[in-house]
Structure 1
Amino acid sequence: MLPSWLTEAYVQKALQNFHKDDQLRVRKIWAKPATEKGENYVGVMTRIYVDFERGDGTKLKSSYILKQGVPSDAPQAKLFKEYDVYNRELEMYDVVLPKMAKILQEANFNDKLMAEAIIVDRDRTIMILEDLAPLRYMNADRVKQLDMTHTKLVLDMLAKFHAAAIVLNQREPNLLSQNYDAHFFSRSKKGYGEVFVGLFRAFIRYVNTKPNLKNRYAEKLENIIKNLMDYAGRSVDVGEKDLKTLVHGDCWTTNVMYLYDDEGNPITVLPIDFQFSSLTSPVVDLHYFFSTSLKTEVKDKELELVQYHYYGLKKTLEALSYKGLFPSLFEYQLQFERRRFLSVIIANVFQPIMVYHGSEDCEFINLYQDTPEGIKFQDSMYENEEIQRRIETILPFLDAKGFLDAH
């Protein structure tokens, strides 16, 4: 059912402005949900179908995506309001992403950077975006995860995204300094602290069911949880010598869409969902992406993937005639390594959600609250044998590097 304000007249005016055609006329609109339950916790997405006629008489049928915030009575509504995720994404589509696209076009990088915004309505806190599905963009399988070809396409895209934002921030420092300091681990905000601590408790609960893991790591993990958000906050802090840019902030399988050729090979990729974009180190995106989205044999090549992104970023900045701080590859790898605590959180508490394909109730509050329903869902996340194998591998790795000790 369409919102009462989403009338034919409203859509007609938006399309007239977008197409620069005052004679355009909308003949019919209808809609259906664009995502299934549990696929998107941050907003409500509706696919709108529109029959319209251009001023020259051309009759067209198009579909669009209406993005709205979750209802005000949803359990997560207060959380997302605290982090101002909706207004931030509106500004990304309305101002920041178009500026970044123009910067890339200066160096003849003309690949599509985002879905076109038909309208950004700040009064209603909604957007209507072009529907990428008819353009043959689609998500890869979040459960099967990404092979090397899919992974490198995302790294190519992130190199251009990060480079454009570096140049934009150099040209217009006031633009990004206002609204892009809030991230999952912001010390000035509390909402995600409750979420991550709840998720981490579920992780510890799983570790305690495995005697070999419990004996080696349970005590260390209990000590970490006391300082979890502070340690995570340090991971996104940026020093004077660190590279700093706007990151996507939530870059994983479901938030990138691929275009495939006729043989089924991915040829390009497009990011979506910019509610958590923030100013920090570009390697924050790499940790998040590597820890949530890659097949095991691809993630095992992590150092080479950081190198691949580094050279893509360097090449793009050179094409954009960037003059400013840029680290050596050695320094960049160190910047990545210093933020490895993000793997403690993301790989161990986020990834089980992102590859979940069980049957328990996946309502947002069940992700982290210790209600009977919540505990049942959380425990079921760790029934995934691949997740169990990864935990067996990553805990010794992180422990040997010192990331499970107080620091």
Structure 2
Amino acid sequence: MPDNSTKFNPSIQLDIPKWINAKYFERILHKENVNFHKILKLTPIPATPPGENYTSIMMRIIMDIELKDGYTQQKSYIVKTMLDDDKGGTLINALNLFPKEKLMYERILPQLEQIYHELGKKVRFAPQCHWIEEKSSRITIVLEDLNTKKFRNINRLKGFDMPHMKRVLEKLAEFHAASVMWHEKYGAFPDEFQRYYLPANYQKSKSYQTRVQSYKTAMATWGLEDCEKYIERIPNAEQFVNAAMGCFNSDPNEFKVLNHGDFWSSNIMLNYTSSGDVNQIRFVDFQLCKWGSPAQDLWELIICSVVSNLRICEFDHFIRVYHTHLLKCLKILNYMKPLPKLYELHTSMLKYGYWGYSTTFTHLVLILLPSDKDASLLKLIQPGEEGDKFRHKAYTNPLYVRAVLDILPFLQRRGILDFQ
């Protein structure tokens, strides 16, 4: 069942763009319901707790509306829009995240679902998209509020237990299989799904060097056996970049899928049966989708979103669960090429083990940090005293230390820390 300990104060300060008002939503409501008359009340609140969203403004818009027959009802939407430049938008928007997500909701996600629908299988991967607007270089996406259908996130600080992981892995396999068939039907995914973005001159980036320095200082406090051995293996900027670029392989014979690209618990929403079992699953946040080995999504899910005592001991089991369901879905969808073998998937997890390290070094740090209104991606990478203080807090967070004491030896045993 979902854990309610992640609830937060909805009255926390949120900078609401001035254009988020009743007039904006009247167009959407008229489009949806011919009986719509007027909005009686509109209340915007944060859609995510502090420290859970770094790349956009996310709002839940709750409205009391009146219909032409005099009846009233409540409507709720999730609105996702771009950060202003002075809130980190310059860096984030340069990553081309919103144009990619716009394309996913407008075209690709409906087509992925249609691939199953044509075979009589009712499959949904994402919330319904009600409205997409691109205006003055700003993209805004208005989505179904899954909370109204009792979808929830689990507590990101705890992670998925085994029953949850089995269902999530099966849903991921279902999504990946559809993407394989999309590629067969429509050809290559657009260029933006095949590129990996790193800032210019990343090898000389002070932000990366600053993070590594803070990280190594924190490592000495973790109680890690043979600590110096691990400190020496933390990649410098050039090694990090080379490893990242090595994850993009144009080999036409390699099995590839459309990775979600940001596949962790807060982007996975679930609802439950009356007995407490997982019922339906939806994915959200399609800004980082990439065509490549499924190893990327698998590494991120297992590293970032599994309860700590299962992450390593059940690692190989998780890969088998995913593989078994992937083959089942590919057969249902009449995939005609050779099916990927389990050993090939394990080989791919080793080959693209960079995702395991980079996720541990970057994403897991923020995921395991308790909700903090001052947390930000910019603060994690900024040089100077304020950045050092935040990094020390994040890198010595007991939840993170507990996780990394298992993960780094595991990566070392599999040769994944051999960046030299």
TM-score by length of 1: 0.89
Instruction: Measure, in 2, the Cα distance between the counterparts of 1:392 and 1:25.
Output: 58
TM superposition shift of 1:56:
6.8
TM superposition shift of 1:343:
1.4
Instruction: Measure, in 2, the Cα distance between the counterparts of 1:85 and 1:39.
Output: 17
Per the alignment, residue 311 of structure 1 pairs with 324
* Pair 1:260 & 2:255 matched: no
Per the alignment, residue 216 of structure 1 pairs with 229
CA offset digits 1:125-145 (Å, max 9, x no partner): 101111111110111000111
Q: 2:308 aligns with which of 296, 305, 309?
A: 296
Q: Which moved more, 1:351-360 or 1:289-298?
A: 351-360
Kept in 2, the 8 Å contact 1:243–1:325? The answer is no
Per the alignment, residue 125 of structure 1 pairs with 139
| Structure-2 change in CA distance of 1:87 and 1:164 (3 Å) | same
Per the alignment, residue 78 of structure 2 pairs with 65
What is the Cα-based RMSD across aligned positions, in Å?
2.6
TM superposition shift of 1:298:
2.4
TM superposition shift of 1:400:
3.1
Residues 329-348 of structure 1: pairs in structure 2 closer than 5 A: 329-348=342-361
Kept in 1, the 8 Å contact 2:179–2:258? The answer is yes
| Structure-2 change in CA distance of 1:332 and 1:194 (3 Å) | farther
Q: 2:254 aligns with which of 227, 233, 242?
A: 242
CA offset digits 1:82-116 (Å, max 9, x no partner): 21001111111111111111112223332431111
Q: Secondary structure at the match of 1:25?
A: strand
Instruction: Measure, in 1, the Cα distance between the counterparts of 2:411 and 2:291.
Output: 26
Per the alignment, residue 136 of structure 1 pairs with 150
| Structure-2 change in CA distance of 1:2 and 1:357 (3 Å) | closer
Per the alignment, residue 366 of structure 1 pairs with 379
Q: Secondary structure at the match of 1:50?
A: strand
Per the alignment, residue 215 of structure 2 pairs with 203
Unaligned ranges ≥5, structure 1: none
Aligned length: 400
Instruction: Measure, in 2, the Cα distance between the counterparts of 1:368 and 1:7.
Output: 34
Instruction: Measure, in 2, the Cα distance between the counterparts of 1:149 and 1:195.
Output: 39
| Structure-2 change in CA distance of 1:404 and 1:336 (3 Å) | closer
Instruction: Measure, in 2, the Cα distance between the counterparts of 1:166 and 1:197.
Output: 38
Instruction: Measure, in 1, the Cα distance between the counterparts of 2:181 and 2:38.
Output: 40
Residues 5-404 of structure 1: pairs in structure 2 closer than 5 A: 5-17=19-31, 19=32, 21-30=33-42, 31-53=44-66, 59-75=72-88, 77-123=89-135, 124-174=138-188, 176-183=189-196, 186=197, 198-209=210-221, 212-221=225-234, 223-299=235-311, 300-357=313-370, 361-404=374-417
Unaligned ranges ≥5, structure 2: 1-14
Instruction: Measure, in 1, the Cα distance between the counterparts of 2:285 and 2:201.
Output: 22
| Structure-2 change in CA distance of 1:335 and 1:118 (3 Å) | same
- Structure number with greater CO (CA < 8 Å, separation at least 6) is 2
Instruction: Measure, in 1, the Cα distance between the counterparts of 2:36 and 2:23.
Output: 11
| Structure-2 change in CA distance of 1:154 and 1:328 (3 Å) | same
TM superposition shift of 1:236:
4.2
TM-score by length of 2: 0.86
Q: Percent identity?
A: 25
Kept in 2, the 8 Å contact 1:106–1:320? The answer is no
CA offset digits 1:264-285 (Å, max 9, x no partner): 3322221111111111111210
Kept in 2, the 8 Å contact 1:202–1:378? The answer is yes
| Structure-2 change in CA distance of 1:58 and 1:321 (3 Å) | farther
| Structure-2 change in CA distance of 1:28 and 1:3 (3 Å) | farther
